[in-house]
Amino acid sequence: MKPEIERILLAGLLMLVLGACEKDEEFLDRYNTALTTEFYYSTEDQAKEGLIGIYEVLAGQALYGWKYTMMILPADDDHVDIEGWDFDVFAASMSEHEYTMQVWKALYVGVARANYFLGKVPDIEFENDQLKQRLIGEASFLRALYYWHLVMVWGEVPLVTTLLSPGEGNVPKSPAEEIYKHIESDLLIAEANLWLRSEYPLEDLGRATKGAAQALLGKLYLFWKKYDLAEEKLSNVIHSGEYNLIQSSAANPDYYAHAYAFASVFSEIPLRGTGGENNAESVFEIQYSSWVGLPFGHWFELGDGANTTLREYVMGLPQVGGWQKVLPAKDLVDSYEPDDPRIFATAWRVGDTLYADATPESDYAQFVGDIYLRGSRTGYHSKKGLYPPFPTDTRTDVKHGENNLRFLRYADVLLMYAEAVYHTGNDNPEKYMDMVRGRVGLEPVSTLMAQNNWEIPEAIMHERRLELAGEYHRFYDLRRYREKGWIEQMSDFIHGTDKDGNRLTTFVDGKNEYFPLPSSEVDLNKALEQNPNY
């Protein structure tokens, strides 16, 4: 079921019609990409409509529609199969690549819309003040989320929390510590004002919740090395009773029962009765809808209007019209234990069977044979979030993708909590890793640790890599591990391999931990310095 938030995304178009101004010549205009008409945000209904405009940037093609994907995943355990792709080799030319500018721009558009909302809505009279505070909480969460992406990708960035006035356009970078403090402040406001997931009416399914704010706070505190606070916030999510791990409902589940249950966590529709969008494991996901009347759905950079994702088109199998451009690295696939069902949902392998409607009775079954997978540089194709293709009769090809993007999952929360309590000593980290492993039928992590002579840090790093593969966490996780001494060099881990074991990624320690700022932004903003060594 698609939540009401998707059906009212068109309200966000009004934001642009009424005065959004995006002139590339002026830093001020780019960072104030939001409504500037004073009469807007004068009623409760306008506030509700405007909030949708803050959400929809997340779903646009510049971010999770596909361009952020193509920029970040090569720094992960994936390879982008495009000749000379700048982001695979961390080339200095990344600063001049259009994707770098488009991702940067989209994040600051989201910030600007949130700034305008938070500057105007507190003065509006609502019939229900509790609803007003919740909307303010949602906008605060979204602003924190946009800044979270900015500080993760670039480190020090301009911190803009209000609409700028003429003459204020040259904004310097703020230290990451200040960005963290601002994210924390926004998330604490969100936590105080947002409702629990179960308290939202069905038509509001998909909005930011108290649990989402607490989970993102927990993640922030891990990076900030405030482990006691991370433990507290993540514990609140765990003990809220709002979330559960998706598991097979079979009495005695075998490998494939576990595999389909795990795949259903990321599927658009339930598989064998479990999972689907906005499922019990999803803490926050980015909502999509399909517009079949257009050749590429709604292929809008900033997500203005109803949103289609092109991830399935860019990353999908050639049998269904995909470009197959993002490929899981061989060393990632080789890292899974032989009996780990999670690989089934992560990568297409030779011998896998493709069911167009995800039912074994389908007469559309195709064998994914050597001709396709052996043409892949790594020997594999992306599968997580792309399976099954064409799950409904509302669309006919991968240009109209509508599967939501899972951004925060309960499994991530459990693994973050394991990491936090390892540092605080207040609980047993193995217990929470075993919850994640046990739901797919794997034996306790202590067995794996004994086999490999691992301590807790190695086990946590292993579980996060395999559980969250392809979910945009790995690169940032590696940086966190290096900063606290769990690993010595990121380059030892960022080197996705092809099917012959050759490295596909070039990473330079002391330089590539953060991406270069867009060169056009550095040229226009005289107070902005390029990141070191670029």
Domains of the chain and CATH, by start: 4-247+517-524 (1.25.40.390), 255-407 (no CATH), 408-481 (no CATH)
Q: What is the pLDDT of residue 6?
A: 32
Q: CA–CA separation, 400 vs 387, rounded Å?
A: 14
For 397-419, the DSSP string reads SGGGB-PPEEEEEHHHHHHHHHH
Taking every pair of Cα atoms in the chain, the longest distance, rounded to a whole number of angstroms, is 68
Q: What is the pLDDT of residue 244?
A: 98
pTM across the whole model: 0.89
Q: CA–CA separation, 502 vs 381, rounded Å?
A: 17
The strand pair at 78-80 and 347-348 is best described as unpaired
Q: Which of 51, 30, 31 has its CA nearest to residue 40?
A: 51
- Residue count of the chain: 534
Can you give the pLDDT of all 534 residues of the chain as single tens digits?
Answer: 343 323 322 333 334 333 333 333 343 344 444 444 444 788 999 999 999 989 989 988 889 888 898 888 877 888 777 766 667 667 778 899 888 999 999 999 999 999 999 999 999 999 999 999 999 999 999 999 999 999 999 999 999 998 877 777 789 999 999 999 999 999 999 999 999 999 999 999 999 999 999 999 999 999 999 999 999 999 999 999 999 999 999 999 999 999 999 999 999 888 887 899 999 999 999 998 765 444 433 444 544 444 677 777 777 777 777 777 888 999 999 999 999 999 999 998 877 776 544 444 444 444 455 545 656 888 888 999 887 765 544 555 667 678 899 999 999 999 999 999 999 999 999 999 999 999 999 999 999 999 999 999 999 999 999 999 999 999 999 999 999 999 999 999 987 788 888 888 888 999 999 999 999 999 988 899 999 999
Q: CA–CA separation, 477 vs 469, rounded Å?
A: 11
- Angle between helix axes 44-59 and 129-154 (nearest 10 degrees) is 30
For 336-372, the DSSP string reads S-TT-THHHHHEE-TT-EE-TTS-TT-TT-EE--HHH
Q: CA–CA separation, 304 vs 525, rounded Å?
A: 27
Note whether 528 and 517 are within 8 A (CB).
yes
Q: What is the pLDDT of residue 372?
A: 58
**Cis amide bond preceding 388, omega within 30:** yes
Beta bridge partners of 408: 284
